[in-house]
Amino acid sequence: MKRFIHHSELARDSRFVRQDNAQSTVLAQMPDDVETVVNIFDQFTPMIEESVRGTAAQALFDEYGPGFALMVLNEPLDPDSPISKTRLLLRMHGIFVGELQALEGAARSLWDFPDAPWEFKMNMARQCWDEGRHVQIFEKLLTHLGGEVGMFPESTFLFECACSEDPAMRVAGVNRGLEGLACDVFRDMIRYAEKTGDETMRQAVDYVLADEITHVRFGSEWVKAFTEGDPDHFKRTQDFRREVDKQFSFGGARSDRPDAAIPIAWEDRVEAGFSEEELRDLAELSVGGPSKKTLIEAARILRERHQARKAEQSKETGQ
């Protein structure tokens, strides 16, 4: 068996649909400019349409056009909004595939780094069990909320970004970048479950969050151990983690902005070994990218254009 696999090699059963990662890459780098954002989405329309066909996201595409993700990402989850259920399921499904890739990433670390210290292998092995349980938990929560596996396309952007071939970089990207993001997302899900009175979801996610804090701590400790005596290497791991953080801030949707859809889980992250300085840095870098105003305006234009195109098409087929 070879070492290091490409994200396209993640094996899936027949329920799953893949999403092109090019889309996520571009979305992660959008500037704060309505016209540019609209143009980017326009350019990706065929790809987005193709990736949602036959999935539950098709309804969102039909309604909002290619910019539906902007609507989904930038509004906090609100149980009273009309498309709240679809959006909740979209997020749940995203978390489910994220857990799947976290399991695969931790497991691959055992094979990819055979000469790593034993304690590192023990930590990764433990993480395999935890992530395996998380996959089971979110599959059950997805069903609990009326969804199912494969209802939305899966982006393997997470695995692609974080699975570096350098063990220090990998734990920095996966365990500090992505697991840190998981802390933010899960803290937000707990708030949502409290609001809706969903005790099943609240308690399950509460346990998952406890596990994730442990995983971030693994990352905090191993980055230090792997880069000991090599400040240059340490700096590169920090830069890599910041890059991952930036890519997964979804243009400020996950940030410390007062209007953020997913706020930074400050206290949980401190417990997991993030320094105050790192957190201030995260708060700063995650607000970059387009403002909420820009994205909502872009989404409005994209929706208008989409509706106009649909009207045009139905006129043509009607004649």
Partner 1 sequence: MSQRMYPGMSPDEKTTFAPYSAFDIPADLRELHGRYDVEATARRCRNFRYAEEWMMMILGGWVATIPEVPVKTGLGKIIWETAQAADELGRRLPELRCGRKAVEASEASNQAFADFIQALSDPEQPDLSIEKLAGIFDVLKPHLVEVYERTMRETDQISDAPTIEILDTIVRKTRRHIAWGQEVLDRLCDTDATRERRRKRIDLINAKLAECGGVTGTLESDRGSLH
Which residues of the chain form contacts with Fe ion (CB under 5 A)?
Answer: 99, 102, 131, 134, 179, 212, 215
108 binds, among partner 1, Fe ion, none (CB under 5 to 8 A by kind): partner 1
Asked whether the beta carbons of 3 and 264 are under 8 A apart, the reply is no
Q: Does residue number 182 form part of the binding site for partner 1 (CB under 8 A)?
A: no
Please state the φ and ψ torsions of residue 289, each to the nearest 5 degrees: 85, -175
- b/e string for 210-232 if b means 16 or more Cβ within 10 A? ebbbbbbbbbbbbbeebbeeeee
**Other beta carbons less than 10 A from residue 146's beta carbon:** 10
Distance CA 282, CA 50 (A): 34
Distance CA 145, CA 91 (A): 11
Residue with smaller CB distance to partner 1, 22 or 122: 122
Q: Does residue number 122 form part of the binding site for partner 1 (CB under 8 A)?
A: yes
Residue with smaller CB distance to Fe ion, 198 or 211: 211
**Least Cβ distance, residue 131 to Fe ion (angstroms):** 5
Rule CB under 8 A: choose which of 47, 56, 83, 110 binds partner 1: 110
Residue with smaller CB distance to partner 1, 11 or 318: 11
Q: Does residue number 141 form part of the binding site for partner 1 (CB under 8 A)?
A: no
Distance CA 40, CA 43 (A): 5
Asked whether the beta carbons of 273 and 180 are under 8 A apart, the reply is no
Q: How is residue 99 written in tokens?
A: 């857990």
Closest CA relative to residue 169, chosen from 263, 91, 234: 234
Q: Does residue number 111 form part of the binding site for partner 1 (CB under 8 A)?
A: yes
Q: Does residue number 124 form part of the binding site for partner 1 (CB under 8 A)?
A: yes
Interacting span for partner 1 (CB under 8 A) from 43-51, 56-64, 102-110, 164-172:
102-110
Binding site for partner 1 (CB under 8 A): 1-2, 5, 9-13, 100, 103-104, 106-112, 114, 117-118, 121-122, 124-126, 128-133, 135-136, 139, 149
